[in-house]
Amino acid sequence: MAEKTITIISIQDEYLSIISKQMTELAGDLVRIRPITIKNLAREKISKDEIVLLGTDFILPLVTPFLPDEGRYIICKRGFNYVNMGKLLSAPKGKKILVVNDTEQTTKETIQSLKEVVFEHEYYAYYPDASIPEKFDFVLTPGEMQLVPEGLAEVIDIGYRLISLDTIFEIFDILELDFSKSFLTNRYMKSLVALSNQNKNLKIDSTFNKWDEHRVSKTANYYFEDVIAYSQAMSDALYILKKFAGLHDPVHIFGETGTGKRMLAQAIHNDSPVNRGPYLNINCAARPLDVLERDLFGSEMDGKISPGLFELASGGTLCIEEIDEIPLSLQGRLLQVLAEGQIIRVGGHLPIPIDVRLITTSHSDLSVLVDENKFRRDLFYYLAALTCKIPSLSERKEDFETLIQIYLKSHLQRNDLNIPQDMIQLLMQYSWPGNVKELFNAVSYMACLKGKKLSFELLPFYIKGRLRKNNAELAPPQELSEPELDELVVSIEGHGFLEESLAILEVFEQGKKQRKSFGRTVVREMLQSKGIILTEQQLRLRLEVLNQLELLNVRQGRSGTTISRKGELFLEKLRLENN
């Protein structure tokens, strides 16, 4: 019987790693788990026999062109890892909790899910470009600690939201895997424990897992020709790495998170004398010592032999990522293996010769770690003879526009999207702490939204908030052009309720003049006086659309919902058009 495959697709590498780990814990012995990020879709082939699991419905427009005609996909529903929620569940009732997530949509989804399950508290959405109206007992975030403002209140990190049990049942039904709900529920609980706080940073190595531990194949997809290098800083790094590629000695690459170290390691392999051999990689970050040791060197236990990566990569390249995270206790053994050219499996006795080209990466400067006694000096000398630092995105501004254009066209296949020069200049003002990876994630997010050009309004809201905070020029708009007006009208008409939306905006315009904000109950009553009857769900849908178009500022709590400056201009412009 053919091997069944679940292909998991997401924008964010970190979230993809987490849900891939969850599926591996659930069904790693039953099906093959294949994770793919959006940016790698163009380089991967998806067959009609694979079940595609999308991390969110938001990315469906980007993924659809890459799916086979008869392919099947599931949009995963998400739930909480209750193992991580002890502090929240034990808190006295009635606490005020500020919820921080990466976009408005995911923040609202998180709050809605919290209200359905942990209903004892009051939840408020955090918006980076708005003042916080009151004091909170806790700040809660599902794995987005980097977005949490400092000094507000005690922070509860409940970890990323995971695949729900309902979605697991759906997957097994489609795959026609005959297992009871009791069996799946028990495995689901196991996956929650495995992904609890103490392990939530565990990264999945998509090249090497239990499904391909005996499969040696070439998996380096990138070449030096794929690297954008118009800037002097990146050109210099590329020149050095091309020289290193032709040698047999170990190469060490270090740089900030998201600078492209993994891509460059693959390019070195493909330009090296061993490019016909396999390319395998492993990430040391947060991997338990015993697991890391077995993965690298293999094991002989209970009569079963499992070869390690040093053996599987024979005749090719092994890339050890985040080697600055490797425990000190394992560094000595690694040095011995590299110096002697042979390994002894865990639990074994006989030495096994190895012939591997080694590439290592780190986000820290190893020489600094040596001085701090966090990295062995002798291992550093062995690895760092050929070292290259990769510049951050802020050091290669000349590459900025080309990176975006190439990503849109080659990776996302969105030739229809336009990015104006003023938008390029605006994006360059953001610090991009996540470097190229964060830039690509932001562009992927914008490309999922409707529209033919990338604009400020389409940016992830946490980036918009930080840009507004640091740039006085990003004040609310003072006028609305004819094309912008037409685009807004078309967007609202596309949902089929232009007249109702205009009435809703007029209600909030009246409220602003009276310095009042209205809840949905009051809005429904005021609309009814105008002859417009809407259910609670209908009104919520219309408010959400107007919020997405930035005509309303939909907020929870005391600040309520108000009309935005853009909404006021929209009404003014329409009235002029109709007079």
Q: Each residue of 161-217: pLDDT tens digit?
A: 999 999 999 999 998 888 899 999 999 999 998 887 444 444 433 333 333 433 334
Give the neighbor-by-neighbor strand order of the sheet with 51-54.
32-37, 5-10, 51-54, 72-75
pLDDT at 212: 40
More confident of the two residues 535 and 565: 535
Give pLDDT, residue 202. 40
Average pLDDT (335-355) is 91
Q: Are 53 and 171 in contact (CB under 8 A)?
A: yes
**Percent residues over pLDDT 90 in the chain:** 44
The mean pLDDT of 87-115, rounded to a whole number, is 90
Strand locations in 25-142 (E) = 32-37, 51-54, 72-75, 78-79, 96-99, 122-125, 138-141
E strand or H helix that includes residue 26: helix 13-27
Which residues have CB under 8 Å from 299's CB, separation 6+?
Answer: 305, 306, 308, 345, 346, 347, 348
Please list, in sequence order, all residues whose beta carbon lies within 8 angstroms of the beta carbon of residue 339, skipping any fewer than 6 positions away.
Answer: 382
Strands lying side by side in the sheet with 279-283: 279-283, 317-321, 357-362, 251-254, 387-389
Q: At what angle do helices 520-529 and 536-548 cross, to 10 degrees?
A: 100
Cα–Cα distance between 383 and 367 in angstroms, integer? 11
User: How crowded is residue 387: how many other Cβ atoms within 10 Å of its Cβ?
Assistant: 19
In the predicted structure, residue 227 carries a pLDDT above the cut 60: yes
CA-to-CA distance for 419 and 455, rounded, in angstroms? 7
Quote the CA–CA distance of 547 and 281 in Å, as a whole number. 44
DSSP-assigned letters across all residues of 166-204: HHHHHHHHHTT----HHHHHHHHHHHHHHTSGGGTTPPP
> What angle separates helix 498-513 from helix 520-529, to the nearest 10 degrees?
110
In this predicted model, what pLDDT tens digit does every residue of 405-459 receive, in sequence order? Answer: 999 888 888 888 888 887 888 888 888 999 999 999 999 888 887 667 777 778 8
Given a cut of 90, whether residue 575 has pLDDT beyond it is no
129 falls in which pLDDT band (50, 70, 90)?
low
Dmax (CA) of the chain: 91
Q: Which residues pair with 459 in a beta bridge?
A: none
Look at residues 294, 383, 407 and name the one whose alpha carbon lies nearest to residue 346.
294
Q: Kindly indicate the confidence band of residue 2, based on its pLDDT and cuts at 50, 70 and 90.
A: low
d(CA 392, CA 256): 6
pLDDT of residue 146: 80
Amino acid 58: pLDDT: 84
At 241, phi and psi to the nearest 5? -65, -35
- Alpha-carbon span 328 to 122, nearest angstrom: 46
Q: What does the angle CA 28 – CA 30 – CA 32 come to, to the nearest 5 degrees?
A: 60
- Give residue 217's pLDDT: 40
pLDDT digits (tens, 9 = 90+) for 265-281: 999 999 999 999 999 99
* 130 or 533: which leads in pLDDT: 533
- Residue 121 corresponds to which tokens in the numbers above? 């508290």
- Angle at Cα 113 formed by Cα 107 and Cα 119, nearest 5°? 115
Lowest mean pLDDT among 72-76, 199-203, 363-367, 505-509: 199-203
Share of the chain above pLDDT 70, in %: 91
Whether pLDDT at 540 is above 50:
yes
Q: Identify the weakest region by mean pLDDT among 422-426, 516-520, 564-568.
A: 516-520
Asked if residue 137 lies in contact with residue 92, where contact means CB atoms within 8 angstroms, the answer is: no
Q: What is the DSSP letter of 409?
A: I
Mean pLDDT of 493-509: 86
CA distance 430 to 417: 21
Average pLDDT score over residue span 312-341: 92
Query: Is the overall model pTM greater than 0.85, yes or no?
Result: no
Mean pLDDT of 36-44: 87
Least confident of 148-152, 279-283, 317-321, 505-509: 148-152
Place of tokens 């020149």: 239
CA distance 35 to 336: 34
Q: Is the pLDDT of residue 134 over 80?
A: no
Per-residue pLDDT for 45 more than 60? Answer: yes
What is the predicted pLDDT for the residue at 454?
Answer: 79
